Amino acid sequence: MRSRYTAFALGGLGSYLISTWDPSALDPTLTSASLDRRDHQWLGLEIVDARTAGARATVEFKARSRPRHAGSAGPDQILHERSRFRRHRGDWRYVDGIIDPPPVDSPSRNAPCPCGSGKKAKRCCLR
C-alpha cells in the first residue's frame, strides 16, 4: 500500500502501479500515462487498519491531497478508502477499493465480509 501511495505521490510511475494491480482486476483501458497525471499534490498517508487472511488482505487508509489546479487554494482533500489486495505469484496486488467505507467492527462469522467480496466473513477474510 505504501509503495503504491508513493508511486502516486511522485508521479511518473504509472507502469509500476499497473504492475502492482491484480491482473484479473485491471481495467484494460487503464494506461501508464493516465496514472502518471499529477492533478493532485499528495501530502500524507495514514494507515487506519490492515488485515491479512491467507492470500487476501485489506488496508484502510486516508490520504491527504491538494488539487494542483490554479486558484484551488481550498482545504486539503481526504481520500478514505478500504483497499483489497490478493497475493499473486508471491506478491501483493491491488484488487479494488471502497471509497468512504462504513466503519468496520469485527464481523460475526455469518455476516457479509467487510472487504466487500459479497461472501460471508467466515468464507472470506475470517479464514
CATH number (domain holding residue 100): 3.10.450.50
**Rounded average pLDDT per 10-residue block, the chain, 127 residues:** 91 94 93 88 93 93 85 79 94 94 72 78 76
Domain extent, residue 21, equals 2-123
Q: Name residue 91's beta-bridge partners.
A: 88
Cβ neighbors of 117 (< 8 A, separation 6 or more) are 84, 124, 125
Query: Hey, what's the cell of 70?
Result: 490554479
Domain count within the chain: 1
Residue 120 has what pLDDT? 84
- pTM (2 d.p.): 0.76
Q: Name residue 53's beta-bridge partners.
A: 56
